[in-house]
């Protein structure tokens, strides 16, 4: 996730091609519902992290974020092509995690998949797959709007399903075959994006000096992330009778505003009560 910030800070990141290009980068683990289980502020390269120095950055992030899980066999992990590699899938298999992720073409190892250029010449919905017996990892390449490569250490190709796509040749929507691993990936991937969308729906805008608000700009969204997580728990308990996110946020805000915190004696004491002061033009 990216927390928008345009001021001066050594932690600010620039990511080309993203909707929010400048800001603080947060690694996060979220459920399919959008509930955030863990997050970490990216502070650049860590010289003390030498135990996994031979792995890529994305692989190190995944393993560091999953260190807190006590029973890996009870979880399925999904991530995108920035994190996925053959070595990571094998490492997660040894730890007991079930994992699936889209993968870049240069990270499939020695699996002889049909190249994207050749697969693109076939009919839409065609696919090619190879199973790595040494690492027990399955790689699949599927022809959709573009060729997609996905790797998994537990899922399978069949049973084949159907996906609706628009055909320019027929000028109408048609059905193309879809693999079981892709159907599962589309169903459970996107929890981080969903959480980021919920946080941004009613985000609080902070205006002021950029240098002064630098640390606040990435700490303030933590409160909104906690509010969204509380609302997801609340909706899980109350079901259809639950308030929407906007009314839930208002209810929480009103509750805190009504708290009797007492008078804070900060600053110089006033010489006269405020009721006796008068304004003159």
* Count of domains for the chain: 2
Residue with the bigger pLDDT between 250 and 268: it is 250
Last residue of a domain, one of 159, 187, 215: 187
Find all residues with CB under 8 Å of 248, minimum gap 6, and list them.
227, 230, 231, 234, 242
Q: Which residues of 62-76 are buried (b: 16+ CB within 10 A; e: fewer)?
A: bbbbbeebeeeeeee
> What pLDDT score was predicted for residue 245?
92
Q: Do 208 and 156 belong together in one domain?
A: no
The whole domain housing 213 covers 195-257
Distance CA(232)–CA(15), nearest Å, equals 29
Of residues 274 and 43, which shows the higher confidence score?
Answer: 43
Between 68 and 265, residue with greater pLDDT: 68
Average pLDDT, the chain: 82
Residue 97 pLDDT exceeds 90 = yes
pTM of the model: 0.79
H or E element in which residue 132 lies? strand 127-132
- The partner residues of 77 in beta bridges, in order of sequence, read 99
Rounded to whole angstroms, how far apart are CA atoms 218 and 166? 41
Residue 139: which pLDDT band, with cuts at 50, 70 and 90? very high
Predicted pLDDT of residue 274:
45
Contact 149, 140 (CB under 8 A): yes
What pLDDT does residue 265 have? 54
Q: What is the pLDDT of residue 215?
A: 54
- pLDDT recorded at residue 276: 43
Give the C-alpha separation, 268 to 39, whole Å. Answer: 41
Across 24-28, 129-133, 167-171, least confident range: 167-171
Q: Tokens 């250029």 appear where?
A: 117
Rounded to 10°, the helix 245-257/210-238 angle is 110
76 and 183 in a single domain? The answer is yes
* 248 shares its domain with 231: yes
Higher pLDDT, 259 or 27: 27
Q: Is the same domain home to 88 and 172?
A: yes
* Per-residue pLDDT, 44: 76
pLDDT of 128 over the 50 cut: yes
Q: Are residues 181 and 74 in the same domain?
A: yes
DSSP annotation of 226 reads H
Q: Do residues 100 and 173 both lie within one domain?
A: yes
The pLDDT confidence band at residue 281, using thresholds 50, 70 and 90, is: very low
**Chosen domain end from 187, 205, 234:** 187
Task: List, for residues 186-220, the tens digit of each pLDDT value.
Answer: 999 989 989 988 988 887 766 655 544 555 555 66
Using alpha carbons only, how large is the chain's radius of gyration in Å? 25
Residue 96 has pLDDT above 60, yes or no: yes
Residue 127 placed within a domain: yes
The pLDDT confidence band at residue 263, using thresholds 50, 70 and 90, is: low
Residue 261 confidence class, pLDDT cut points 50, 70, 90 = low
Residues 118 and 151 in one domain: yes
Based on the fold, state whether residues 182 and 73 are members of the same structural domain: yes
How many percent of the chain have pLDDT more than 70?
Answer: 84
Q: Tokens for 214, please give them.
A: 């630098």
CA 210, 212, 214, 219 torsion-angle sign = negative
Instruction: Tell me whether residue 64 is in a domain.
Output: no
Q: Is the pLDDT score of 103 beyond 60? A: yes
What number is the average pLDDT over the span 46-67?
80
222-247 residue pLDDT tens: 888 889 999 999 999 998 888 999 99
CA angle 238, 240, 246 (to 5 degrees): 85
Residue 49 · residue 67 · CB < 8 Å = no
165 lies in the same domain as 221: no
Task: Summarize the confidence of residues 252-258 as an average pLDDT.
Answer: 87
pLDDT confidence tier of residue 152, bands split at 50, 70 and 90: very high
Say what the pLDDT of residue 221 is: 76
Of 202, 255, 251, nearest in space to 225 by CA: 202
For 238-250, give one letter per residue: b (16+ CB within 10 A) or e: eeeeeeebeebbe
């Amino acid at each position: 996730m990216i927390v928008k910030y345009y001021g001066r800070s050594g932690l600010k990141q620039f990511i080309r091609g993203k909707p929010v290009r400048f800001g603080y980068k947060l690694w996060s683990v979220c459920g399919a519902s959008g509930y955030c289980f863990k997050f970490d502020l990216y502070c650049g390269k860590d010289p003390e992290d030498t135990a996994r120095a031979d792995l890529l950055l994305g692989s190190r992030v995944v393993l560091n974020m999953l260190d807190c899980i006590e029973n890996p066999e009870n979880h399925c992990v999904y991530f995108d092509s920035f994190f996925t590699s053959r070595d990571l899938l094998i490492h997660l298999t040894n730890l007991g995690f079930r994992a699936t992720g889209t993968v870049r073409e240069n990270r499939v190892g020695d699996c002889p998949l049909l190249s994207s250029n050749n697969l693109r010449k076939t009919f839409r919905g065609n696919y090619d797959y190879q199973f790595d017996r040494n690492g027990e990892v399955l790689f699949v390449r599927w022809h959709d709007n573009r060729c997609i490569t996905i790797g998994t250490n537990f899922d399978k190709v069949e049973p084949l399903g159907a996906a609706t796509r628009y055909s320019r040749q027929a000028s109408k929507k048609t059905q193309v075959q879809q693999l079981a691993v892709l159907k599962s990936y589309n169903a459970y991937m996107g929890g981080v994006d969903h959480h980021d969308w919920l946080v941004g729906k009613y985000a609080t805008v902070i205006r002021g000096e950029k240098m002064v608000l630098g640390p606040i700009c990435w700490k303030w969204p933590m409160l909104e992330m906690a509010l969204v997580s509380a609302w997801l728990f609340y909706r899980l308990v109350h079901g259809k009778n639950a308030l929407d996110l906007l009314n839930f946020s208002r209810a929480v805000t009103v509750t805190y505003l009504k708290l009797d915190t007492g008078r804070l004696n900060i600053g110089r004491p006033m010489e006269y009560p405020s009721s006796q002061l008068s304004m003159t033009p």
